[in-house]
Chain A
Amino acid sequence: MAFYFVQFLTGLASAASLFLVASGLSIIFGVTRIVNFAHGAFYMLGAYIAFSLTERLSGALGFWGGIVVAALAVAVIGVIVEIVLLRRIYHAPELFQLLATFGLTLMVEDLVVLIWGPDDLVGRRAPGFKGAVDFFGQNIPSYDLFLIVLGPVVLGALWLLFQRTRWGILVRAATQDRDMVAALGVNQKWLFTSVFAVGVFLAALGGALQIPRDAVHHAMDLRIIVEVFVVVVIGGLGSILGAFVAAVLVSELNAFGILIFPTISLILVFLVMAVVLVIRPWGLFGKKEAPARRTPGLTVIPWRPLTSVERLASVVALALVAMLPFIAGNYALTVGAEIAIFVIFAASLHFLMAVGGLASFGHAAYFGLGAYGVAFLAKMAGLPMIVCILLGPLLGALGAAVFGAFAVQLSGVYFAMLTLAFAQIVWSIAFQWVAVTGGDNGILGLWPEKWAASPSHFYWLALGVSAFVVSVLRLITFSPFGYALRGMRDSPLRSESIGINGKRIQWTAFIIAGTTAGIGGALFAYLKGSVFPDNMGISLSVDALVMVLLGGVETVPGAIFGAIVYKALNIWLVSQTDWSKLVLGIFIVLIVVVFPKGIVGVVESVMQRRRAAAPKAAALSAKMEGAQ
């Protein structure tokens, strides 16, 4: 009994940091409507800076002062980030904001390694809380007791801040209606900046307070951000009390989950999250929000199927690309096959995002499931390659069917966070369930059969499948199903009022996207000859997002060009520098800020302008205006 009680207390102590970080995220989201992916990076920076300060400053004052100064220093960094970057993208679509802050995370990850090195750092114990308290023969670290008290104290302080100060009242007012607050003479810019500073301070404090408990390392940002997303989805984004309750819930589930399912403890958290979402999609303490605003299109160029000339041009282009084996060597062909596979992956995400309006942040899960599907079939069942490639993606389809059923209940940032959390769960199953998946060692020795073994044959296979998948997705886009899906994207209420079963349509789209991603994963497994948990990792999901964004979200063929350019660039970059995350992060931020329409978007608007300049088009548009 005493053991379980101590386990319970450990859970409560873990909840403190989680609550600090989650409440910071919630406060920032409430006012700025930005889901700050970089929140985990600020948490990590808080820990690193606190580590350095507490190493140098001695005594109790040095320790506690170091913790507070570290959090303040990171808050200042947050203010700079807000002023330089976020102010430019407050009116951008949610996806762009998430991506920009993700780019920031990548940069911080490499910078942290540059400054502090790649090794884990073990910090000082907290003065005054070095010992343990004996509880019926079980030891409880006294620092844990301190954290257990700290959580509710911070909750109370935040409550006072938001209820009793003018600043708090302004923040609550802005959470509801930003423009109205400006129309009453409040300078929104500085309100946003101060809110961001407070949120980042909380995250950094959460990180700094971890150093007596845990080693500081350069991957702690992603671990916490996934947990924080789960916490705010359960508690309700924007609710501080919700963040507290959900942080306790998630921490306790983790503490006891380890006892019940030692290898797949995250399953328990996932199940609770699923139940909460089914009953209250907006979280335990969140408020039901009106359907997410759709930012008016960045482009106003309407989509249309290819004309016969364009169709001919595409076939010619494909034929030319198919000539590659006659001029290029084996390495180029392998790169070519990889690019063709990523065209499939990017096209499947583009279908979900651009056609369906559902920006998934965990699309790699279905890519990876397809790859593992192939690996299971080939290694365990020993089926022939062609059967594996046909059936393997069904694992992706199955995953998409299960997760998609929950995910489409939400939209906007909630959807993005939930898909990310799902992907992380799939990843951790692949990582933890060593008996079946091989864990970190993956499943090896997965080579194509003779007919597809040579680089040129495999290249043709990948290219053929890629062309087929892209064509099918295009056909679906311009089919009645595609129209219904776009209707749901543009106006859920209007679509449902003309009899479209919106959730079902979106769910179907999710499964289509998951299956096609799985096809890409299946080919990828044979290309690499192995599968690893990283085939479903966050960074792969973000790669896909960047490909779609680089090509142009609001265009139909954008994903294809985005995948080709990005993948080629990426392969080249990794061969050139050790700091590829840093470069990639800068690249992502630049795309979002400078180049939000993507390659194809820019080309299209240039062509559109030219066409509008032509006299015939001018006459036509004049006629249309007259008719209106």
Chain B
Amino acid sequence: MKLSVSNLNSHYGPAHILFDIGLEVGEGEVVALLGRNGAGKSTTFRSIVGLVALREGQILFEGKDISTAPTHEIVRAGLGYVPEERRIFTDLTVEENLEVGRQKPRPGSPQWTREKLYKLFPNLGEMKNRPGGRMSGGEQQMLTIARTLMGNPSLVLLDEPSEGLSPKIVEQMVDAILTMKKEGVSLVVSEQNLHFARLISDRAYIIERGRICFAGTMAELDARPDIRDAHLSI
């Protein structure tokens, strides 16, 4: 197992957000975490990388317990995180943004270089010296993914990559995710868009009000329209 989360509970101050979350990601697998706005997708990711202070439960990454490790150690172990709000450094250029993400090559993880990433996201290669603040939403989304890949992660948590993007950019995003998978990166992708999730993932979890309420393959999910309608449709 690449990543195995069990009995994860998280709190923001007095508010209990996640209840006994359990999920698993196999080597080289792409797993979708589906759910509506506010269901707990982002909090799940933030808890796994240690950005939520109040969390309990077991989180195993490549067999190692990371449930109490500080964020930078989790990330350096090869668990990359792409946040939902993009959060690129707007004052820094594309090149500088990538530099912040750079980590030493890690044996066993796919290696990424600037050149390789510019091939994956050709738009970025054309604006190496542009400040992040003067890029379009789609370009910023590509930059956040590229920036995380500069850390040579073996697993990436990708939070709502298709949110707010035009259909054309979404297509590029699908290609990029499939390329990452082909290179050997495991992925957990949170999504509200079932159509997008179906194009990229092997399996899916559905989260609702901080609890996992479905786990199975995409085919199994398609066989249960009741679940799909209850937890996903708008």
* A residues adjacent to B (C-beta < 8 A): 166, 169-170, 172-173, 175-177, 179-188, 296, 300
CB nearest to A296 among chain B residues: B13
Among A166, A175, A184, A185, find the residue whose CB has the most chain B CB atoms closer than 10 A. Answer: A185
Provide 19 A-B residue pairs closer than 8 Å at the C-beta atoms, listed in order of the A residue. Answer: A169-B96, A172-B92, A172-B96, A173-B92, A173-B97, A177-B87, A177-B89, A179-B51, A179-B71, A180-B87, A180-B89, A182-B51, A182-B70, A183-B49, A183-B75, A184-B100, A184-B151, A185-B72, A185-B76
Q: Which residues of B contact A177 (CB under 8 A)?
A: 87, 89
Q: Which B residues are in CB contact (< 8 Å) with A175?
A: 91
In contact, B89 and A166 (Cβ under 8 angstroms) = no
Beyond A176-B91, A187-B70, 5 extra complex contacts between A and B, CB < 8 Å: A169-B96, A182-B75, A183-B81, A185-B75, A185-B101
Q: Count of A-B contacts with CB under 8 A?
A: 59
Determine if B14 is an interface residue (Cβ-Cβ < 8 Å).
yes
**Contact (Cβ within 8 A) A183 B92:** no
A300 near B92 (CB under 8 angstroms)?
no
Question: Among the listed A172, A183, A186, which residue makes an inter-chain contact with B89, where contact means beta carbons less than 8 Å apart?
Answer: A172
- Say whether B99 faces chain A, with CB atoms less than 8 Å apart: yes
Check: B148 CB closer than 8 A to any chain A CB. yes
Q: Give the chain B neighbours of A186 by CB distance below 8 A.
A: 72, 100
Q: Which residues of B contact A181 (CB under 8 A)?
A: 100
**Cβ of B89 and Cβ of A173 under 8 Å apart?**
yes
A182 proximity list for chain B (CB < 8 A): 51, 70-72, 75
Say yes or no: B71 contacts A173, CB within 8 Å. Answer: no
> Quick one: CB contact mask for B57-100 with A, threshold 8 Å, 1 for yes?
00000000000001110011000010100010111100011011
Residues of B within 8 A of A296 (CB): 13
* Cross-chain contact A184 with B49 (CB below 8 angstroms): no
When distances are taken between beta carbons in the complex, the residues of chain A under 8 Å from B49 are 183
Query: A500 to chain B: closest CB distance in Å?
Result: 26
Q: What are the residues of chain A within 8 A of B81 when measuring CB–CB? A: 183
Question: Interface of chain A, helix or strand or loop or mixed?
Answer: helix
- Residue B103, interface by CB 8 Å: yes
Instruction: Give CA–CA (A164, B196) in the complex, Å.
Output: 40
A183 CA / B101 CA spacing, docked (Å) = 9
B147 within 8 A of A: yes
Could you tell me the distance between the alpha carbons of A187 and B73 in the complex, rounded to whole angstroms?
8
| Measured CA separation A181–B214 after assembly (Å) | 33
Instruction: From B14, B51, B103, give the contact of A185 (CB < 8 A).
Output: B103
On whether A169 and B99 interact (CB within 8 A), knowing A184-B147, A188-B72, the answer reads yes
Also in contact, A183 and B100, with CB within 8 A (given A173-B92, A176-B89, A177-B87): no
How far does the alpha carbon of A300 sit from the alpha carbon of B14 in the complex, in Å?
10
- Give the top 10 A-B pairs by smallest Cβ distance, nearest first: A185-B75, A182-B71, A185-B76, A173-B100, A173-B89, A184-B101, A180-B87, A187-B72, A169-B96, A182-B72
> Which residues of B have CB within 8 Å of A188?
72
A168's nearest neighbour on chain B, judged by CB, is: B96
For chain B, give the interface size range.
Answer: 20 to 34
Chain B contacts of A176 at CB under 8 A?
Answer: 89-92
From B157, which residue of chain A is reached at the shortest CB distance?
A183
- Set of chain A residues within 8 Å of B87, measured between Cβ atoms: 177, 180
Q: Roughly how many angstroms separate A173 CA and B90 CA in the complex, as a whole number?
A: 9
Closest chain A residue to B78, Cβ basis: A185
Q: How far is the CB of B62 from chain A (nearest CB, A)?
A: 16
- Residue in A closest to B97 when the chains form the complex, CB atoms: A173
Provide the residues of chain A in CB contact with B148, threshold 8 Å: 184
Chain B: minimal CB distance from A52 (Å): 40
Q: Which chain A residues lie closer than 8 Å to B83 at the CB level?
A: 180, 183
Bound form: Cα–Cα A188–B70 in Å: 10
**Using Cβ atoms and an 8 Å threshold, which residues of chain A touch B151?**
184-185
Smallest beta-carbon distance B140→chain A, Å: 13
Q: What 0/1 pattern do residues 25 to 62 of B give for CB contact below 8 A with A?
A: 00000000000000000000000010100000000000
Q: Which of B124-155 contact A (CB under 8 A)?
A: 147-148, 151
0 or 1 for each of B86-120: is its CB under 8 Å from A? (1 = yes):
01011110001101111100000000000000000
Closest to A186 in B: B72
Contacts of A184 in B (CB 8 A): 75, 100-101, 147-148, 151
Complex Cα spacing A169 to B97, Å = 8
A440 to B147, CA, bound (A): 61
Bound-state CA distance A169–B99 (Å) is 8
B90 — which chain A residues lie within 8 A by C-beta?
176
Shortest B197–chain A CB gap in Å is 23
* Closest chain A CB from B167 CB (angstroms): 28
The residue on A at minimum CB distance from B45 is A183
Q: Please, which residue of chain A has its CB at the minimum distance from the CB of B93? A: A169
Task: Report B19 CB to chain A, min CB distance, Å.
Answer: 15
A510 → B minimal CB distance (Å): 31
- In chain B, positions 189-207 with a C-beta closer than 8 Å to chain A are none
Residue of A nearest to B96 (CB): A169
Q: Which residue of A lies closest to B74 (CB)?
A: A185
Q: Please indicate the chain A residues that have their CB under 8 angstroms from the CB of B72 in the complex.
A: 182, 185-188
B102 proximity list for chain A (CB < 8 A): 166
| In the bound complex, CA of A183 to CA of B75 (Å) | 6
Closest residue on chain B to residue A300 by CB atoms? B14
**Cβ distance B64 to chain A, nearest Cβ, rounded Å:** 16
Return the contact of B100 from the options A169, A179, A187, A300 (Cβ within 8 A): A169
Complex Cα distance, B13 from A296, in Å, reads: 9
- List A contacts of B51 (CB < 8 A): 179, 182-183
Please name all residues of chain A whose beta carbon is closer than 8 Å to the beta carbon of B13 when the two chains form the complex. Answer: 296
Chain A residue at minimum C-beta to C-beta distance from B82: A183
A251 to B102, CA, bound (A): 42
| A-side contacts of B75, CB under 8 Å | 182-185
- In the complex, what's the smallest C-beta–C-beta distance from A609 to chain B, in angstroms? 14
Quote the shortest CB–CB distance from A192 to chain B (angstroms). Answer: 12
Query: Are A183 and B99 touching (Cβ within 8 A)?
Result: no
Q: Is the CB of A170 within 8 A of B14?
A: no
Q: How far apart are A87's CB and chain B's nearest CB, in angstroms? A: 13
Nearest B residue to A163, CB-CB: B96
Chain B residue nearest to A181 in the complex (CB): B100
CB distance from A536 to the nearest CB of B (A): 40
B residues within 8 A CB of A169?
Answer: 92, 96, 99-100
Chain B residues closer than 8 Å to A180, beta-carbon distance: 83, 87, 89
- Chain A residues with CB below 8 A from B147, complex form: 184
Please measure, in the bound complex, the distance between the C-alpha atom of A145 and the C-alpha atom of B76, giving whole angstroms.
49
Q: Within 8 Å CB of A185, what residues of B?
A: 72, 75-76, 101, 103, 151
Q: A183-B75, A183-B83 are in contact. Are A166 and B99 (CB under 8 A)?
A: yes
